[in-house]
């Protein structure tokens, strides 16, 4: 009997856990000046009850509001330039969209250990984590499935052809990140498939460099459960030549789980360079390697026999050319991604081995028609491949052409129509339109957007368990899946109460046709019975006829220099969601998103001292799995804290950090229990010029 990995109701293929070995991935980092030592232990705390969780959430948000009201006005840019919403650089308030932008430097200032943990506390972003410190997380925006968020790195899509579970494996070291732009809502007219709930755009220092700049940073740490953590990075730019490189390594034996230890060895190395050939021409290249080896017990199933482990290796390469002269700007980007995934369900099983490849190219030409008008057009091509002992060997080609207009009328009104013709070798041709409007008068901005979105099925949804000789239970792919289609619209308002404070509120609705989800299906209704049995229990990938998701979100971003040597940063968000479907059979991903969620980051610095906190509260549909004594509780609250003090100027700082300080026992997805309290301490160094 064989099982195959796909989702969390049924088992998939199989892999025994690996013994922990001493990691020597970054021994050379010990010679660098920038080090961070982390000592980790897990003291026992009494579990906080639901009432305290709620009160803590309220108190936290009230405190943040009080800090905001006490601040004095000062010039801080909360309306930064963005390239995500319309491909050309414009102020975020002119896009007609709700965007949240976080600087890369905040990774080192907040209590987070990996990029997916940083995303978890960005307002409005729901990260459904299966394991700590980059093991695996699903990214959700506005109640979509995890496949409906597109992750982009410097203009190129990162989403893997095999499965959306790999979208959080971002092959960039944190030290290389200039900023992260989160665009919420429909974006398929510009980006194509997967940009349904929104877009996460990682923009790096090398590809966005302007002027002279030098920076070196690093950290290393050890702790309980064989913890060995490290980060290092450097960036150099003289205005013409830019070079960046970095690494991050998170390693541990792991805490004891039901059937194994939750070990992880997650390592990323990236290097990039850019050159201004002359005043008009710039070229850039990047290469990176990401390797993650982790315990995956009950990541995808709820069976007691699941003691899984998984290894995912990613090579990422990209190149860009930009030429600008007079009123025109031409850009071309190519990328190649190769991923090998090996998954064992338990020590006696045959592993799934999946090798996926993605080649992509995109070219765009931006022309300034007038002072208030920009027109951008371009084309995109993708070649997606997989070679798998479970899913078989397949290739799909995709191509598209798009046109985007940015037009201003008068002082405050702007509209941004876009249209895309998208062709998929299996799904055919789609016409995808979109429109965004905005009007700003003084401190208030009104905005609205509407558009069609599409998503093509990945190889797991089409072919999961197809290449096995016999499958007695599990998730089954469906080659005949149609493309998802939906229409989304939103209305919102932004208040720029001062130069330091922005508050956004948005109502949105998305009406789906043919949404793809795994649905419990009896043997008699299975379209293919070649390798299944009448007594089996199966979930079939199906097009659900109709799903409507509506919601309301608020974002608050505040940044302020309160007085000499005092600074306050605050980001907070709240999301309410409701999804309705006419499907009566049990589904999984559609109903897994939070119904209510609030998350926040706050950091206060005074001279050489700083304290920061982030937290998240979720209310969602509860689930239970008696076989493994697991549950998704109706609600949970997690709070993380870090305090640091400078010991040499501002370059060397000691810190103490506590993750999950309330020792909340929780799971984002059924069976994947997240760690309890972790207390850490160490030293970090940063130098810049």
Phi, psi of 371 (to 5 degrees): -60, -30
DSSP structure class, residue 83: S
> Average pLDDT for residues 395-423, to the nearest whole number?
94
Residue length of the chain:
689
pLDDT attached to residue 11: 38
Q: Which residues contact 442 (CB under 8 A, 6 or more apart)?
A: none
pLDDT at 77: 64
CA–CA separation, 588 vs 372, rounded Å? 47
pLDDT exceeds 80 at position 420: yes
Report which secondary-structure segment, H or E, holds 364.
strand 352-370
* Euclidean distance between CA atoms 558 and 250, whole angstroms: 31
DSSP class of 506 = E
Q: What mean pLDDT value characterizes the chain?
A: 86
Distance of CA 462 to the CA centre of its chain: 23
* Domains recognised in the chain with CATH numbers: 27-688 (2.40.170.20)
Residue 363's contacts (CB-CB under 8 Å, 6 or more residues apart) are: 330, 331, 332, 333, 378, 379
* CA–CA gap between residue 33 and residue 687 (Å, rounded): 9
CB atoms within 10 A of CB 286: 25
What pLDDT was estimated at residue 592? 85
3-state class of 299 per DSSP?
coil
Average pLDDT over residues 105-115: 89
Averaged pLDDT for residues 189-215: 91
Region 217-234: mean pLDDT is: 86
Q: Give the residue with greater pLDDT, 409 vs 359.
A: 359
Task: State both tokens at 83.
Answer: 């390239």
- The CA distances from residue 236 to 94, 318, 547, 687, in Å, are 32, 19, 49, 12
The yes-or-no verdict on residue 63 having pLDDT over 50 is no
Q: 14 pLDDT exceeds 70?
A: no
Q: What pLDDT score does 639 carry?
A: 97
Which phi and psi (to 5°) does residue 175 adopt? -65, -20
Helix residue ranges, H only, 299-438: none
| Residue of 213 and 75 predicted with greater confidence | 213
Per-residue pLDDT averaged across 93-120, rounded?
A: 89
- Answer whether 289's CB lies under 8 Å from 268's CB: yes
Helix H, strand E, coil C: the string for 180-196 is EEEEECCCHHHHCCCCC
Q: Residue 191 pairs with which residues in a beta bridge?
A: none
The tens digit of pLDDT for each residue in 647-662 reads 988 888 899 999 999 9
What secondary structure does DSSP assign to 91-102, as a single string?
EGGGSSSEEEEE
pLDDT at 106: 86
pLDDT at residue 55 in the model: 40
The pTM (predicted TM-score) of the whole model is 0.87
Query: Is the model's pLDDT at 88 over the cut of 60?
Result: yes
433 with 419: CB under 8 angstroms?
yes
pLDDT score at 89: 78
Assess whether pLDDT exceeds 50 at residue 414.
Answer: yes
Q: Is the pLDDT of residue 37 over 80?
A: no
Task: Tell me: pLDDT of 315 over 70.
Answer: yes
The per-residue pLDDT for range 539-587, each reduced to its tens digit, is 899 998 789 999 999 999 988 888 778 899 999 999 999 998 877 777 7
Largest CA-CA distance found in the chain, in angstroms, rounded: 74
Give the pLDDT confidence of 661-688 residue by residue, as tens digits: 999 999 999 889 999 898 888 889 888 8
Write out pLDDT tens, residues 131-167.
Answer: 999 999 999 999 988 899 999 999 999 999 999 999 9
Alpha carbon of 486 to those of 186, 303, 380, 547: distances in Å? Answer: 9, 34, 22, 9
Q: Is 418 exposed, middle or buried (0-12, 13-18, 19+ CB in 10 A)?
A: buried
Q: Is the pLDDT of residue 226 over 60?
A: yes
The residue with greater pLDDT, 71 or 5, is 5
428 Rama class: left (phi>0) / alpha (psi -120 to 50) / beta: left
**Residue of higher predicted confidence among 210 and 503:** 503
Q: What is the pLDDT of residue 275?
A: 95
What's the pLDDT band for 256 if we cut at 50, 70, 90?
Answer: confident
The closest alpha carbon to 411, from 97, 98, 94, 85, belongs to 94
Q: Among 6-15, 70-79, 80-89, 238-247, which is the least confidently predicted range? A: 6-15
- Extract the runs of DSSP E, i.e. beta strands, from 224-277: 227-238, 241-252, 264-276
How far, rounded to the nearest angstrom, does the alpha carbon of residue 128 sit from its chain's CA centroid?
10
Cα–Cα distance, 182 to 166 (Å, whole number): 18
Kindly state the helix (H) or strand (E) to which residue 200 belongs, with its residue range: strand 198-204
């Amino acid at each position: 009997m064989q099982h195959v990995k796909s989702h969390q109701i049924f088992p998939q293929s199989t892999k025994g856990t690996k013994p922990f070995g001493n990691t020597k991935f970054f021994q050379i980092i010990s010679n660098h000046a920038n080090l961070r030592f982390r000592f980790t232990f897990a003291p026992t705390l009494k579990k906080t009850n639901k009432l305290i969780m709620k009160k803590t959430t309220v108190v936290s948000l009230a405190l943040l509001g009080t800090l905001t009201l006490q601040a004095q006005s000062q010039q801080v840019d909360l309306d930064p330039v963005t390239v995500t919403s319309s491909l050309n650089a414009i102020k975020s308030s002119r896009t007609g969209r709700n965007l949240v932008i976080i600087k890369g430097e905040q990774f080192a200032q907040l209590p987070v250990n990996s990029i997916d943990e940083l995303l978890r506390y960005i307002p409005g972003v729901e990260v459904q984590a299966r394991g700590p410190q980059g093991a695996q997380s699903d990214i959700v925006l506005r109640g979509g499935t995890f496949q409906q968020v597109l992750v982009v790195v410097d203009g190129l899509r990162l989403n893997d052809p095999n499965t959306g579970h790999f979208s959080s494996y971002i092959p960039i070291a944190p030290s290389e990140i200039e900023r992260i732009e989160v665009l919420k809502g429909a974006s398929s007219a510009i980006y194509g498939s997967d940009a349904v709930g929104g877009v996460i755009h990682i923009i790096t220092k090398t590809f966005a460099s302007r002027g002279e700049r030098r920076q070196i940073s690093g950290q290393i740490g050890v702790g309980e459960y064989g913890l060995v953590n490290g980060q290092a990075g450097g960036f150099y730019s003289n205005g013409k030549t830019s070079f960046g490189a970095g690494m991050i390594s998170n390693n541990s034996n792991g805490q004891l789980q039901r059937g194994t230890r939750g070990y992880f060895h997650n390592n990323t190395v990236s290097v990039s360079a850019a050159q201004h050939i002359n005043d008009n021409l710039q070229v850039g290249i990047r290469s990176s390697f990401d390797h993650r080896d982790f315990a995956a017990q009950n990541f995808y199933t709820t069976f007691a026999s699941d003691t899984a482990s998984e290894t995912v290796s990613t090579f990422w390469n990209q190149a860009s050319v930009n030429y600008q002269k007079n009123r025109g700007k031409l850009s071309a980007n190519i990328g190649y991604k190769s991923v090998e995934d090996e998954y064992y369900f338990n020590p006696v099983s045959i592993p799934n081995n999946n090798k996926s490849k993605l080649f992509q190219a995109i070219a765009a030409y931006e022309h300034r028609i007038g002072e208030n008008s920009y027109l951008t057009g371009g084309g995109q091509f993708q070649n997606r491949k997989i070679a798998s002992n479970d899913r078989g060997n397949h290739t799909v080609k995709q191509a598209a052409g798009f046109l985007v207009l940015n037009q201003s009328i008068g002082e405050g009104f702007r509209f941004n129509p876009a249209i895309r013709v998208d062709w998929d070798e299996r799904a055919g041709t789609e016409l995808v339109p979109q429109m965004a409007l905005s009007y700003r008068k003084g401190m208030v901005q009104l905005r609205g957007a509407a558009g069609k979105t599409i998503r093509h099925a990945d190889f797991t949804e089409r072919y999961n368990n197809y290449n096995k000789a016999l499958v007695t239970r599990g998730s089954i792919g469906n080659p005949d899946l149609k493309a998802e289609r939906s229409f989304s619209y939103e209305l919102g308002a932004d208040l720029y109460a001062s130069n330091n404070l922005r508050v956004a509120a948005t109502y949105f609705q998305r009406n789906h046709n043919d949404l793809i989800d795994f649905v419990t299906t009896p043997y008699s209704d299975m379209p293919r019975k070649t390798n299944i049995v009448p007594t089996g229990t199966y979930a079939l990938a199906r097009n659900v006829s109709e799903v409507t998701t509506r919601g309301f979100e608020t974002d608050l971003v505040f940044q302020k220099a309160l007085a000499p040597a005092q600074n306050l940063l605050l980001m907070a968000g709240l999301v309410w969601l409701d999804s309705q479907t006419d499907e009566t059979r049990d589904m999984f991903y559609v109903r897994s998103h939070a119904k209510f969620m609030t998350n926040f980051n706050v950091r206060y610095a005074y001279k050489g001292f700083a304290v920061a906190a982030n937290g998240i509260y979720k209310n969602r549909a509860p689930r239970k799995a008696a076989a493994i004594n697991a549950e998704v509780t109706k609600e949970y609250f997690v709070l993380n804290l870090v305090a640091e003090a400078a010991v040499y100027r501002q370059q060397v700082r000691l810190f103490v950090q506590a993750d999950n300080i309330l020792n909340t026992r929780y799971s984002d997805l059924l069976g994947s229990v997240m760690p309890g309290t972790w207390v850490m301490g160490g030293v970090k160094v940063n130098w810049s010029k």
